[in-house]
Amino acid sequence: TAVYVGSSTASGDIVFPETVTRVKAYAFVRNKSITGLTFKGHIDAIEWGAFFQCPYITDLVFEKGVKEISGVDSEQGKIFAEKYDYEDGGDFNLNGAFFRSCSGSLWDEETFESLGFATLENLVLKGIEKIGDCAFQDCNIRNLKIDKTVRYIGEAAFTNSGNDYIFTSVSMLGADENDFYAIKDDCIVEKGSGPQYLGKNGDRLLVYAQNSSAVQFDVPEGVTYISPFAFAELKNLETVTLPEGITELYGGTFSAVLGSSLKSVLLPSTLVSLRSDTSVFGEVQLMGITGGVFTGCENLSEVEFRGTPSLEYIGANTFYVTALSEFEIPASVTYIGFSAFLNEYLVSLSVEDGNEVYVADEGVLYTKDMTTLVCYPSRKAATSYTVPEGVAAIEGYSCEVTAFLETLVIGSNVKKVGQSAFYNAHALKEITFKGNVEMLGQSAFFGAPNLNKVIFEGEIAPFLGGSHNGTYSVFASSYDSMTWEAILLCEFVVPQNAIASYYSEFYLYAPAYAEAIDLSEISDTAYTLKKDGETVAVFTDSLVKTEPTCEGSGYFQGWYLSDGSADGDWGERVEFPAYFEQDTIILYARFGEQRVQDGKAWGRDFELDANGEALDVTFKNGRAVYFRFTAPRSGSLNLLYDGLTSDEFYLQTDDVSGVEYVVLSDYDNPQSWCYETEEGKTYFVSIKIYLFDGINIDCAVSFEIV
């Protein structure tokens, strides 16, 4: 007997002689030249990762059988990735023997036309006893036959969330079932390994052949667990019935990226959770979004229960991009994740009597106390809608893709509109905020091409989340794909006595937002600027957008409403932008021995202590704070942020010359950012902290040279 270790030059169709009984781990890893494998003798094992990501294998033949196709060994995968310096080492944690093989794109070499994907038309596993976790994950297998000798089939052994979805049939050689598995009706069921139901161990459905010709399927009685992605990317199946005893369905179970034929599903009354994660892989990601149980089932229009529902948990994106037009939230439901019902067909939501957490009002879903708007149906027919006065928050992703809503009035008690709340609200033309909304999340109203007017009636400007870039801008209609600059088309109408506040807040967010404020109704003011009793400037303007500069003896302290040069009473300092309703106004320049340090601009920047003493600073989400420091010696600078953890923020820093650095922080507290410095040189740096939640955060800032 012999063990095949591997060959980096192997290509074409490889024939292994009878003496070969085992292929070692990673023997042919990522070999793109192999097209076929034939094993003449009996194989004891194809070890984990042996043919990892060999995409063009289209023939796999075990003439005398194979005992084991090994599955995941994540620790060895990590060691292998580090040893050979693979940047995408995470893939090796799912190192089944044929993981992501047999699935590469095929092209006509002369015409460059696509010929589809590499496919194993027929895979026969004669004499097989063990098929490990992820052994054939993301492989294109059309017809699969597994010998009745099989004793173990691992999680995701045949799951395909890859390039093609042609898994047509699966059956058992010599029988329909053995003591461990039933393999019939194009699905694999593992006996006795599922959660208990009625005092008896249930069964686990591992996978269903997604391209099976059946249009209706009843999951066998006794099944109490369905593996993630078991029914993903269905091509013909339209109706599925699930038996009593199933309590959880995991993220991706019926999901689709390229489309699903599923139209109707009958759920068991025992079902408690529709999750957006899995028991094996954690949170499910589909095309960059969190994957729910039915995400992408574009034809699914009917969901019913076999009896009185026990459902408590509906995870994020559960029915995202389905065809549901109506849905009644069972009385038992206590949690609904973001975008759970987001699709282009939903007309109305209702809530069963007795639910203690949720309530529906005119088809719109709210928390029971009517303080939070949870979901506004995208195809609700109303062209105008007023958010009730008692509502304090509009959840993120709650009102996306509204087809008919043109006029929106947001009640005076609303304090927060979450991220992407009204994303792609195509019909929206006008928004009125009746009160002092505190925060508008990033992308809250992005993608509304017809939005032309936003009216703020509150006297305090809201905080705008995200940044004026790409799809992150709060009110932008679109963005320039070349420059990533967001395009703002609407105008803002704000209270006359709060114009300066709005202009300042919006300018800090993006100058384009400040310039979009309607100033047509405010009158001009004649300004006189004085220093030491003498007039230094006279001008007329409605709004003074930036602070006028002034030179004198000592440090400039700002402009004040009173001349305190004689008695020290300067009155109130004027903040810019500045607006006064008077016809005339006199401002007085003040100078002093100490430089003003409030971090709001260059010249007013905080000076960090050369000995490393920390300075307590309040950062406003996404707003720059300005600093300077003089390096006591040459070396690597560490800017330290005591009080922040890596899951709270990331940093953006700019030096005075405008060079931008972006740092994704993943260190333990305190946080640091490194920069090479020269002794005696003064450095100017602005720092923005983007919080994942909230508006303000306090931390102690210092620096050290190492």
Residue 563: the pLDDT is 95
Q: What are the tens digits of pLDDT across the range 593-630?
A: 999 999 888 788 899 888 888 899 988 877 888 888 88
Q: Is residue 163 part of a domain?
A: no
Residue 336, in any domain of the structure = yes
For residue 233, the enclosing domain spans 212-370
Same-domain pairing of 577 and 534: yes
Average pLDDT over residues 12-19: 94
**Do 453 and 505 have their domain in common?**
yes
- Structural domain tally of the chain? 5
Q: Please indicate, yes or no, whether residues 486 and 617 belong to a single structural domain of this protein.
A: no
Task: Please report where in the chains the tokens 């006189």 appear, as a residue.
Answer: 528
Per-residue pLDDT, 661? 33
The verdict on 529 and 511 lying in the same domain is no
Same domain, 90 and 52: yes
The CATH number linked to 514 is 3.80.10.10
> Is 230 inside a domain boundary?
yes
Q: Residue range 499-513: average pLDDT?
A: 91
Identify the domain boundary among 499, 520, 541: 520
pLDDT category at 689 given cuts 50, 70, 90 is confident
Residue 254 lies in a domain: yes
The C-alpha angle with vertex 127 and arms to 121 and 130, in degrees rounded to 5, equals: 90
pLDDT at 5: 65
SS3 letters for 139-198? CCEEEEEEECCCCEECCCCCCCCCCCCCCCEEEEECCCECCCEEEECCEEEEEEEEEEEC
Query: Higher confidence at residue 686 or residue 6?
Result: 686
Within this chain, do residues 224 and 339 fall inside the same structural domain, yes or no? yes
For residues 304 and 391, state if they share a domain: no
**Averaged pLDDT for residues 49-67:** 94
Pair (582, 621) in one structural domain: no
SS3 state at 362: coil
Is 286 part of a structural domain of the chain?
yes
CA distances from 144 to 60, 184, 191 (A): 12, 11, 19
Assess if residue 159 is contained within a domain.
no
What CATH code is carried by the domain that includes residue 688? 2.60.120.380
CA distance 62 to 69: 12
Q: For the segment 384-402, what is each residue's pLDDT rounded down to a tens digit?
A: 999 999 999 999 999 999 9
Please report, for the domain that includes residue 569, its CATH number: 2.60.40.4270
- 618 and 561 within one domain: no
Of the candidates 350, 370, 390, which is a domain's last residue? 370
Residues 539 and 612 both lie in one domain? no
Specify whether 515 is located in the same domain as 531.
no
Let me know: does 168 contact 209? Beta carbons within 8 Å.
Answer: yes
Q: Is residue 376 domain-resident?
A: no
> What confidence tens digit (pLDDT) does each residue in 97-142 have?
998 898 877 665 666 676 678 899 999 999 999 999 889 988 999 9
Please, are residues 366 and 359 in contact by the beta-carbon 8 Å criterion? Answer: yes
The last residue of one of the domains, among 79, 110, 131, is: 131
Beta bridge partners of 440: 417, 464
Reported as a single tens digit per residue, the pLDDT across 407-445 is 999 999 999 999 999 999 999 999 999 999 999 999 999
Is there a single domain that holds both residue 342 and residue 229? yes
Distance of CA 435 to the CA centre of its chain: 30
**202 domain-assigned:** no
